[in-house]
């Protein structure tokens, strides 16, 4: 009886989705079909195709995939994996769908990678290759006065170079990996590795001046020049500029309370209120989204970098399986999470980053670490005063939205939507006003504490 019931449900649920199989080109070049639904693919079938051993622990509810030298533990419902004993954030959660264990291609690729496999393609056509078959690009940077040269080695083809306002993209016809991020040397603020693309972000006023492809060995040289002495926008600006980032938007709704409060709506409301408060105090404000639209994390960061904002504040609301969890938390960027809870929050918020693998350059990061922690403290101290809760504090975690920023940047989780009491509180317009005023005061205190810019009080 139960079986028929679930089949009926399944037909209803399934009707909105595309075909339920995807073709995978195996290591030997043969093709097999595995289960897929929408952008989710059958993770266990992929591991089987790769020849990876998979075990299941009923006690912990988790799977163990093991190759000769490596082991990955993952749990349906979770966005964290344990790779060779270390906790890592996956791009998205592993899920249970009917009797399949599924994940997005990006998440499946992240599980296969430490086991020695690359997963290429998308949910319509996939191919599995052994790690050694994907070209590994090596990058080196040399800076000499007003010019800098980036050389990419280990190429198997001539890539295409596309200039961008904040850097440039190097496009390949097949997937590539980057061996390691080169020392930034004050020229680069970061690099992203996407499937067939390396995207380099330049620190203003560095600009791409030209590129040259050379043989023996195949390599690409990119020349950068420093334009003028100081960033013109920063000089011309008479008032400080803050970029506020309302978390989520569009299809990405974020966390949801039992009473129906949706994170993407709350973050936009709060951001608008904070903006109004800051503008009253003579601070210029830009929002990363003005309405209910999806904006990639990369573009949120790029906007702040392009405007050379004085600080970047990403506003979110929390969710926790522990329903009693309450209070605000403020995070600033770190490659390491301060605790498991911080790692989970980062994993959840990072899900929207998709297959973008952000690599931080130590230089950009360290330059703003102290200022970011100061901004976080100004905010968290006031949030604790507002709520009367003292046990939540400033934390460090690898949030994708904070990586790649070239200014002090923090992420605020204003409260827990998973806590029914707190959801009611966060739904109240009066409380939203108080919360926004508190955030604005913290940002103003931070701006005033800096040596160069003094906003009118
Ligand atoms: Zn969020």
Q: Could you tell me the distance, in angstroms and rounded to a whole number, from the CA of residue 166 to the centre of ligand 1?
A: 26
Handedness of CA 195, 197, 200, 201 (dihedral sign): negative
Q: Could you tell me the distance, in angstroms and rounded to a whole number, from the CA of residue 446 to the centre of ligand 1?
A: 23
Structure tokens, 271: 């951001």
Q: Could you tell me the distance, in angstroms and rounded to a whole number, from the CA of residue 412 to the centre of ligand 1?
A: 9
Q: Could you tell me the distance, in angstroms and rounded to a whole number, from the CA of residue 48 to the centre of ligand 1?
A: 34
Query: Cα–chain-centroid distance for residue 17?
Result: 26
CB 292 within 8 A of CB 268: yes
Q: Could you tell me the distance, in angstroms and rounded to a whole number, from the CA of residue 254 to the centre of ligand 1?
A: 5
Q: Could you tell me the distance, in angstroms and rounded to a whole number, from the CA of residue 353 to the centre of ligand 1?
A: 12
Provide the residue-wise pLDDT of the chain in tens; the chain has 457 residues.
Answer: 333 333 333 333 333 344 589 999 888 888 999 999 988 999 999 999 999 999 988 777 789 999 888 999 998 888 888 888 877 778 788 998 888 999 998 889 889 988 988 888 777 888 888 877 677 787 877 777 777 888 888 788 889 999 888 899 999 988 887 766 666 667 888 888 887 899 998 988 888 888 888 777 778 888 888 876 444 444 557 789 999 999 999 999 999 999 999 999 999 999 999 999 999 999 999 999 999 998 887 788 778 878 888 999 999 998 888 888 888 988 876 545 556 666 666 666 665 443 223 333 332 344 477 788 889 999 999 999 988 877 677 877 666 656 667 788 888 999 999 999 999 999 999 999 999 999 999 999 999 987 654 444 4
Q: Could you tell me the distance, in angstroms and rounded to a whole number, from the CA of residue 266 to the centre of ligand 1?
A: 10
DSSP state letter for 249: B
CB 20 within 8 A of CB 34: no
Stated length of the chain: 457
Nearest Cα to 252, choosing from 276, 288, 286? 288
Q: From CA 266, how far away is CA 352, in angstroms rounded?
A: 18
Structure tokens, 307: 């405007």
Helix, strand or coil, per DSSP, at residue 331 = strand
Q: From CA 46, how far away is CA 312, in angstroms rounded?
A: 40
- Output phi, psi for 359, to 5 deg: -115, 130
- DSSP-derived pairing of the beta strands 311-318 and 177-178: unpaired
Helix, strand or coil, per DSSP, at residue 299 = helix
Q: Considering the entire predicted model, what is its pTM? A: 0.50
Domains of the chain: 16-130 (3.30.457.10), 136-226 (2.60.40.3470), 237-449 (3.40.630.40)
CB 89 within 8 A of CB 74: no
- 85 class by beta-carbon count within 10 Å (0-12 exposed, 13-18 middle, 19+ buried): exposed
CB 177 within 8 A of CB 193: yes
Structure tokens, 326: 């309450």
CB 177 within 8 A of CB 120: no
Q: Could you tell me the distance, in angstroms and rounded to a whole number, from the CA of residue 116 to the centre of ligand 1?
A: 32
Q: Could you tell me the distance, in angstroms and rounded to a whole number, from the CA of residue 100 to the centre of ligand 1?
A: 28
Q: Could you tell me the distance, in angstroms and rounded to a whole number, from the CA of residue 231 to the centre of ligand 1?
A: 32
Q: From CA 316, how far away is CA 296, in angstroms rounded?
A: 15
CB 171 within 8 A of CB 154: no
Q: Could you tell me the distance, in angstroms and rounded to a whole number, from the CA of residue 374 to the centre of ligand 1?
A: 22
- DSSP-derived pairing of the beta strands 167-171 and 197-202: antiparallel
Q: Could you tell me the distance, in angstroms and rounded to a whole number, from the CA of residue 289 to the centre of ligand 1?
A: 14
Helix, strand or coil, per DSSP, at residue 170 = strand
Q: From CA 417, how far away is CA 323, in angstroms rounded?
A: 9
Q: From CA 352, how far away is CA 350, in angstroms rounded?
A: 5
């Amino acid at each position: 009886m139960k079986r028929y019931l679930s089949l009926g449900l399944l037909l209803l649920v399934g009707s909105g989705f595309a075909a339920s199989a995807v073709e995978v080109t195996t290591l030997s070049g043969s093709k097999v079909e595995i289960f897929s639904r929408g952008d989710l693919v059958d993770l266990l079938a992929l591991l089987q195709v790769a020849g990876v051993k998979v075990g299941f622990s009923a006690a912990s509810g988790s799977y163990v995939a093991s190759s000769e030298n490596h082991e990955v533990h993952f749990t349906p419902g979770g966005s964290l994996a344990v790779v060779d004993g270390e906790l890592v954030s996956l791009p998205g959660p592993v899920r249970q769908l009917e009797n399949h264990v599924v994940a997005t291609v990006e998440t499946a690729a992240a599980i296969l990678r430490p086991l020695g496999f690359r997963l290429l393609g998308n949910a319509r056509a996939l191919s599995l290759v052994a790690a050694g078959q994907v070209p590994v690009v090596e990058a080196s940077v040399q800076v000499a006065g007003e010019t800098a040269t980036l050389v990419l080695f280990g190429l198997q083809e001539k890539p295409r170079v596309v200039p961008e306002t904040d850097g440039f993209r190097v496009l390949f016809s097949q997937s590539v990996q980057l061996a390691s991020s080169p020392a930034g040397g004050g020229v680069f603020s970061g690099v992203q590795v996407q499937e067939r693309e390396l995207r380099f972000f330049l620190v203003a006023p560095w600009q791409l001046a030209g590129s040259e492809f050379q043989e023996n060995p195949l390599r690409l040289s990119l020349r950068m020049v420093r334009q003028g002495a100081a960033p013109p926008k920063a000089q011309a600006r008479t008032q400080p500029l803050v970029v506020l980032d309302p978390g989520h938007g569009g299809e990405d709704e974020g966390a949801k309370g039992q009473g129906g409060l949706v994170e993407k709506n709350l973050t936009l409301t709060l951001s608008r209120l904070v903006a109004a408060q800051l503008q009253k105090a003579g601070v210029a404000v830009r929002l990363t989204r003005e309405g209910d639209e999806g904006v990639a994390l990369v573009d949120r960061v790029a906007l702040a970098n392009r405007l050379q904002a004085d600080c970047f504040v990403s506003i979110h609301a929390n969710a926790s399986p522990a329903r009693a969890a309450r209070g605000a938390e403020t995070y600033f960027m770190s490659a390491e999470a301060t605790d498991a809870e911080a790692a989970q929050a980062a994993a959840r918020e990072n899900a929207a980053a998709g297959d973008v693998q952000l690599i931080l350059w130590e230089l950009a990061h360290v330059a703003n670490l102290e200022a970011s922690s100061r901004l976080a403290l100004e905010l968290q101290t006031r949030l604790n005063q507002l709520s009367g809760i003292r046990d939540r504090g400033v934390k460090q975690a690898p949030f994708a939205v904070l990586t790649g920023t070239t200014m002090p940047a923090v992420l605020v989780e204003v409260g827990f939507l998973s806590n029914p009491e707190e959801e009611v509180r966060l739904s109240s317009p009066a409380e939203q006003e108080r919360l926004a005023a508190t955030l604005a005061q913290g940002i103003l205190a931070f701006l005033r504490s800096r040596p160069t810019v003094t906003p009118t009080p």
